[in-house]
Amino acid sequence: MKTRSSTPPALKSEMAIPAGTGTPFDDDKLREECGVFGIFGHQDAAAHTALGLHALQHRGQESAGIVSYDGNRFNTHRNLGLVGDIFSSQKVMDSLVGKSAIGHVRYSTTGETLVRNVQPLFAEFAFGGLAIAHNGNLTNALTLRRELVNRGSIFHSTTDSEVLIHMISTSWANTVTNRIVDALQGVEGAYSLVGMTENALYGVRDPLGVRPLVMGKIDDAIILASETCALDIIGADYVRDVEPGELVIIDDNGIQSIRPFAAAKSRLCVFEYIYFARPDSVVDGTNVYEARKRIGAQLAIESPVDADIVVPVPDSGNPAAMGYAEQSGIPFELGIIRNHYVGRTFIEPTDSIRHLGVKLKHNANRAYIEGKKVILVDDSIVRGTTSTKIVEMVRAAGAAEVHMRIASPPTLHSCHYGVDTPDSDKLVAANLDLEELRKHIGVESLAYISMDGLYRAMGQEAGRDPAAPHYCDACFSGEYPISLSDLDSGAGTAQLSLLAEQNG
Ligand code: SF4
């Protein structure tokens, strides 16, 4: 039997975290707030975790952390910044000893308040150490937090993960697994989480499977990750998706699967296919790149236009633009070039220079634009700020006409399931009708893919059937598949928005 360190706290290192790093320029996208990774039973557990997080960097660029367990104690390193910077030091990697580890990347706002929220979170409770990292949002976290605080819990962070930790630690169930089940049955929301104790790695998806989580294998080690691209980077084989509502426990005895929740229809986030997931990932059996091309092709069927070239707004518009070009027979051209080296700030992101971000990131390829009728394809429009600047740029490069095609329905509603979304008064499509938005962006024509078209592109020939929806599409439809208890209760709006901002 393995023993615990007798000298609490069990964290070997908890380094000071500088404030002020981060991604400065709003590129006008919804932001996936987190990616998770866990591995059990590999001598290079921390190195594989760092590589996995590197592959998941698109899910969060503001902070990252790893907790490993070496058979005696938990070791941790967390910081603000990119994975490649945080885990570049051999000394840091050497400190993350052990055959099991979990890691996390996170998108959030910058600032000192972030320090205590960087995941994975770690705590000691009656059964030993417990580390948790999660992607998503608990929609009754505020309610639970208040109850826990009233019962004497003291919170260190504002993350949902800590709510879960407290629920696990205060459960009266007789085993760690039963306590986790007990805690999960009390929470509502959309989440994929990985947890690690001294003996096991845990992975769980919410009952509707809104956020993705896959299982892989390398040698004899089992891996859990937000996306398959995190398996590919370390040469691991994909085993299967963790099912919606499934809790997997991986320990020396193998893999155990538990279903703590009542059976429910899956409602995976459709935005994973539109924008969040990496195009080389396979989400719920569907290659993301392929899905995006099909969405672009469907867009061409629904909203054709006479033009000379199809130009993606890179990089996220690339696959849909390719699909549009293939379907329409209009040549695909990289008429906008993206600078990939502006990820982090070298000047402060004040409002007065924020608009420059578009020009720092994109430049029109004049030789291919001048005199042409251009179809610009983007995955979504959120605030509309980037679209306006991109169109200005393309016109300045001499485009004869500019037509905009969007590979998602209008984003009309906020996401409450772990994605950073502006309030609806900042969502441009919620405030302008199509013609007003066309004028606002400054294009000859503007069209979004229809909701039915999106579902057709995802393989549902009949389009969106409300009786059998396969996805969460609440940011388009306003139909939220999971209750929004904290919001509906109307309590503590300011505190709620703070929590939403700081969760992952
Ligand atoms: Fe995804 Fe939109 Fe649903 Fe949020 S509301 S989980 S972004 S589909």
Q: Residue 377 maps to which CATH number?
A: 3.40.50.2020
Q: Are 297 and 457 in contact (CB under 8 A)?
A: yes
pLDDT of residue 110: 40
Calculate how far, in angstroms, residue 304's C-alpha sits from the geometric centre of ligand 1: 27
Tell me if 488 is assigned to some domain.
no
What radius of gyration, in Å, describes the C-alpha atoms of the chain?
Answer: 23
β pairing state of 201-205 and 189-196 = antiparallel
In a domain, 281, yes or no: no
Same domain, 257 and 330: no
Based on the domain organization, do 226 and 292 belong to the same domain? no
The minimum-distance atom of ligand 1 relative to the CA of 411 is 2
Query: What residue's CA is closest to ligand 1, atom 2?
Result: 475
Q: Are residues 142 and 98 both part of a single domain?
A: yes
Residue 380 CA to ligand 1 center (angstroms) comes to: 13
Residue 252, domain extent = 2-267
Q: Residue 213 domain-assigned?
A: yes
| Ligand 1 center from residue 49 Cα (angstroms) | 27
Q: How far is the CA of 461 from the centre of ligand 1 (A)?
A: 22
| Pocket of ligand 1 contains residue 417 by CB under 6 Å | yes
Q: Is the CB of 270 under 6 A from ligand 1?
A: yes
Is ligand 1 within 6 A of the CB of residue 415? Answer: yes
Instruction: For residue 246, report the phi and psi dihedrals to the nearest 5 degrees.
Output: -100, 140
Is 483 part of a structural domain of the chain? no
Residue of minimum CA distance from atom 6 in ligand 1 = 269
φ and ψ of 416, to 5 deg: -115, 20
Taking residues 477-488, what's their average pLDDT? 89
For residue 173, what are its two tokens?
């169930």
Contacts (Cβ under 8 Å, ≥6 apart) of 477? 409, 413, 451
Ligand 1: which of 107, 273, 288, 417 to mutate, most ligand atoms within 8 Å of CB? 417
Q: Is the residue at 276 inside a domain?
A: no
Average pLDDT on 318-324 reads 98
Predicted local distance difference test score (pLDDT) of residue 161: 85
Cβ(55) – ligand 1 distance below 6 Å? no
Domain count for the chain, please give it: 2
Query: Residues 315, 408: one domain?
Result: yes
The residues carrying an active-site annotation are: 34
Residue type, 385: T
Among 35, 199, 15, smallest CA distance to 95 is for 15
Mean of the pLDDT values across residues 264-276?
A: 95
- pLDDT given for residue 213 in this prediction: 98
The pLDDT assigned to 156 comes to: 84
Cβ within 8 Å of residue 386, ≥6 positions away: 26, 27, 28, 313, 358
With respect to residue 280, please indicate whether it lies within any of the assigned structural domains.
Answer: no
CA of 188 to the centre of ligand 1 (A): 15
The answer to whether the CB of 210 is under 6 A from ligand 1 is yes
Residues 50 and 165 in one domain: yes
Which residues lie across from 404 on neighbouring strands? Answer: 376, 446
**Among 57-71, 115-129, 336-350, 389-403, where is mean pLDDT lowest?**
336-350
The reported pLDDT for the residue numbered 498 is 47
What is the per-residue pLDDT across 25-73, written as a single tens digit (0 to 9) for each? 445 777 767 999 999 999 999 999 999 999 999 999 889 999 999 999 9
3-state secondary structure of 215: strand
Higher-confidence residue of 327 and 418: namely: 327
Residue 397 confidence (pLDDT) above 90: yes
Q: For ligand 1, what atom is nearest to the CA of residue 210?
A: 6
pLDDT given for residue 58 in this prediction: 94
User: Does 473 contact ligand 1 (Cβ within 6 A)?
Assistant: yes
The pLDDT assigned to 343 comes to 55
149: CA distance to ligand 1 center in Å? 30
| Higher local confidence (pLDDT), 486 or 472 | 472
pLDDT of residue 358: 67
Nearest ligand 1 atom to alpha carbon 476: 2
Best probe residue, ligand 1, of 226, 423, 472 (max atoms within 8 Å of C-beta): 472
Q: Report the separation in Å between the CA atom of 474 and the middle of ligand 1, taken as the mean of its atom positions.
A: 6
Q: How much of the chain, in percent, has pLDDT values that exceed 90?
A: 73
In a domain, 482, yes or no: no
Is any atom of ligand 1 closer than 6 Å to the C-beta of 454?
A: no
Kindly state whether residues 231 and 291 are assigned to the same domain: no
Residue nearest to atom 1 of ligand 1 (CA): 269
Does the beta carbon of 474 sit less than 6 angstroms from any atom of ligand 1? Answer: yes
Which 3 state secondary structure label does DSSP give 117?
helix
pLDDT mean across residues, the chain: 88
When pLDDT is cut at 50, 70 and 90, the band that residue 11 belongs to is very low
Answer whether 269 contacts ligand 1 (Cβ < 6 A). Answer: yes
Global confidence as pTM: 0.90
Secondary structure (3-state) at 212: coil
Specify the ligand 1 atom closest to the Cα of 473. 8
CB-based contacts of 363: which residues, under 8 Å, 6+ apart?
336, 337, 339, 393
Do 210 and 313 lie in one domain? The reply is no
Find the angle CA(350)-CA(356)-CA(358) to the nearest 5 degrees: 120
